[in-house]
Amino acid sequence: MSIESVLNEDNALLLEMLREDKNFIDTSFTFPNQEKELQLELVSWSNRNRYILYINRKSKIKTRYTLQTKHRESYILLRLDLDNKTHRNPDGQKIGGNHLHIFDRDDMTGSWAFELDDAQLNEVFPGFDFSEITKNGTTPIEQFRLFCTLCNATNLPSINEQPVNDTLDF
């Protein structure tokens, strides 16, 4: 799939939703540890659209997780899968474990994805450096902040980290 199918007239409303400024409702939250998930609410002050940003770290693999933003009522706008399984697009093309799903009214399941180094992404996100997301040393919280930039989510809440208990209980 080419990015032109995302940028077509049928998707104009979804593209507008993606690009509008969104504000977090909460002023702070605790970032979920491995095997946990969290939903955060956002609102657009310009037209009162409501959104949900999901942080899904339910996998037992420490570096694998998903960030997703969707319009409160229905539409998935973006989903970022990190250290995930290889994804197969409907045309058979294999996409690596770090990829971005972008909305498409004709495909509400989000079955099309783009590699993070796909130059087509610059047409939707001009000037965004996708290599920052997977750069060595980038923490999950930094990846969350970068994803918020893609979603035009401003006024980031204060983020608390919960200590990880790696000891075994007997």
Q: What is the pLDDT of residues 143-164, one digit of tens each?
A: 999 999 999 998 899 999 877 6
What local confidence, expressed as pLDDT, does residue 132 receive?
95
Beta-bridge mates of residue 41: 52
Going by C-alpha positions, the residue among 21, 7, 11, 27 that lies closest to residue 151 is 21
Percentage of the chain lying above the pLDDT 90 cut? 41
* Cα distance between residue 164 and residue 170, in whole Å: 17
Six token digits for residue 69: 């933003």
Contact between residue 21 and residue 29 where contact means Cβ atoms under 8 Å apart:
no
Mean pLDDT of 123-140: 91
Non-local CB neighbours of 60 within 8 Å, separated by 6+ positions: 34, 35
Whether pLDDT at 107 is above 70? no
Q: Tell whether the model's pLDDT for residue 8 goes beyond 90.
A: no
Q: Quote the pTM value.
A: 0.86
Please state the rounded mean pLDDT for residues 59-67. 76
